[in-house]
Structure 1
């Protein structure tokens, strides 16, 4: 009997961590055992807390209050030209009252009408590669360095000066870099307020405007420098550097560094991430709106993995099994709460 219970708990943990590996019928059967489900969640949360004990929790209440203050100060949201679509995840791109009237909640991500094509252009010697929502692309730089770019990302470099002294590129969004070693020409990635310098290494850099910047090192070594405070740090394989919303730069060891590149293999992977971060990532991939009716749900943390080939409806169904708040998908909008 004890072995049977342990086997069921193991299977429950597997279902919570990898729900897309189970059928809907299997998930429904497993999660019908509420006591076992709560025990599995407790184990999973404890494991995640241990792995992430140095990562600060986002102040969602502060963000929510900022949204509310912005709504009170202006009767409409001005049109902002030139901002990347990622900024829409932290600013209201429509009148907040409109969403309150329709959904009774707060929109945190906006669907965009954009061309579903990869674009590459050169202006004044600057090469820029644009990757739209819902797509990824591997590009090869003049020195042979490989970069896989995630959805809603852009990579820019000077075609005339690249490799003369340094190999400098600028990134917005997310990219996995496999850098060709060249000790005479350091490779530098400039993104936001950070500059990352390497010789030959493999690392993942994630820099969307609405998130903390994260650099995860898989092999080699790299130096990360804050352009504002001029301080820097060296990180080793298996470590992640984080630039917080408080402009603080720190590093910690991550137990699952390779999982941060799972997006290059067609998977969504979230380890102790807030529900808001998870749904904004889904919004970016599927190009849909995200609305929260329940502000507490924005701060719920989950461990979740699914295939990017799954339909959004299927992923929302999976999320409902592991989320504390009801999630629905209707009219091109993910709605959290009732």
Structure 2
């Protein structure tokens, strides 16, 4: 009766012979196993030894079929030795698998869910979800207006809002026009920041694919890092940025229209990386973003387009200024050849 070791090695052989019959997650799980990785490394070492001895490679199809027939009747130990002996054959599959698995970098994933605006109230908690490719302006109980960008969520407690303070939680991006109330400060909580204001207009951007940013258009506000409690007061035209190492810094923003352009139905990118630009397009058009050439991810571009344009038209414009070719394949934007 075939034991578990035999089954595991047969699975490795099948993966090497026909990687397309496995999903990417299955391949990743198989080759992340330490024992399987040990076998793969042994094959690589055997290949190097054979190459140093200038031994010609066997005829692949014939030798591979012979090997598969032999291993069915032998023990696990002999199967392992057979794997090493067949290095010239299996190495080709390993290299092809490794190349296909590691070559492309997907930095944004298209969603298969139905994209609809949702608003629910449960036990006093109001939750408003804006899907990809949409925006919506809402009015809070105090008269404050919030315009939510694509893939954003706003939550607040209707039963407590305005009694001690006016607190909301945002995930994504929102443009706030806050009604002034000196007795009840307005507090916006995100995953990493807390923003406290009285009456002001500001934009908060809190997507997982980039740094968190709060940009002040008018009034004044205080931003606090929830990680280390650093605080920062900013003036109109300034931006509080939470860096990747969780430190707050102030940046002077000469063109606030670049920050709020989404509110006016535009894409406006001022010296931003190609990765940031394409993630924004992915969020609006609900497509994946894949880099075949990772070196181009940090290329910086100045770019403007309208959000009601077809994605193909915007990609065509990008190709005029991008160093690497950009194409659309099914539901993905792909950079590089």
Contact 1:104 1:293 in 2 (8 A): yes
Question: Hey, what's the Cα distance between the residues in 1 that align with 2:98 and 2:255?
Answer: 38
Moved more, 156-165 or 103-112: 103-112
Instruction: Measure the CA separation in 1 of the matches of 2:198 and 2:283.
Output: 32
Give, in whole Å, the separation in 1 of the partners of 2:165 and 2:184: 5
Residues in 2 aligned to 1:222 and 1:74: alpha-carbon distance in whole angstroms: 48
Q: CA RMSD in A?
A: 2.3
Q: Where in structure 1 are there 5+ consecutive unaligned residues? A: 1-69, 78-96
User: By how many angstroms is 1:74 displaced?
Assistant: 4.4
Partner residue in 1 for 2:124: 125
Deviations 1:195-229 (A, max 9, x none): 00000000000000121001111000000011221
Report the secondary structure of 1:180's partner residue: coil
8 Å Cα contact 1:196-1:224 kept in structure 2: yes
The 8 Å contact of residues 107 and 290 in structure 2, kept in 1 or not, is answered as yes
TM-score by length of 2: 0.71
SS of 2:297's equivalent in the other structure is helix
Aligned equivalent of 1:196: 195
- After TM superposition, list the pairs within 5 Å mapping 1:216-231 onto structure 2: 216-231=215-230
The 3-state SS of whatever aligns with 1:252 is strand
Structure 2, unpaired ranges of 5+: 1-24, 33-95
Q: Which has the higher contact order (CA 8 A, sep 6+)?
A: 1
TM-score (norm 1): 0.70
Shift of 1:258: 2.4
Q: Which has the larger radius of gyration?
A: 2
The equivalences for 1:285-324 within 5 A come to 285-324=284-323
| Cα distance in 2, alignment partners of residues 100 and 138 from structure 1 | 46
- Residues 10-159 of structure 1: matches in 2 within 5 Å? 74-75=29-30, 101=100, 104-159=103-158
SS for the counterpart of 2:262 is: helix
Contact 1:275 1:299 in 2 (8 A): yes
Aligned length: 250
Q: C-alpha separation between the residues in 1 aligned to 2:26 and 2:205?
A: 30
Q: Shift of residue 100 of structure 1?
A: 6.3
2:206 match: 207
Q: Could you tell me how far 1:305 is from its partner in structure 2? A: 0.7
Deviations along 1:31-54, whole A, 9 cap, x unmatched? Answer: xxxxxxxxxxxxxxxxxxxxxxxx
Q: What is the CA distance between 1:101 and its match in structure 2? A: 3.7
Deviation by residue 1:275-306 (Cα, 9 ceiling, x = unmatched):
11110110110001111000101111111110
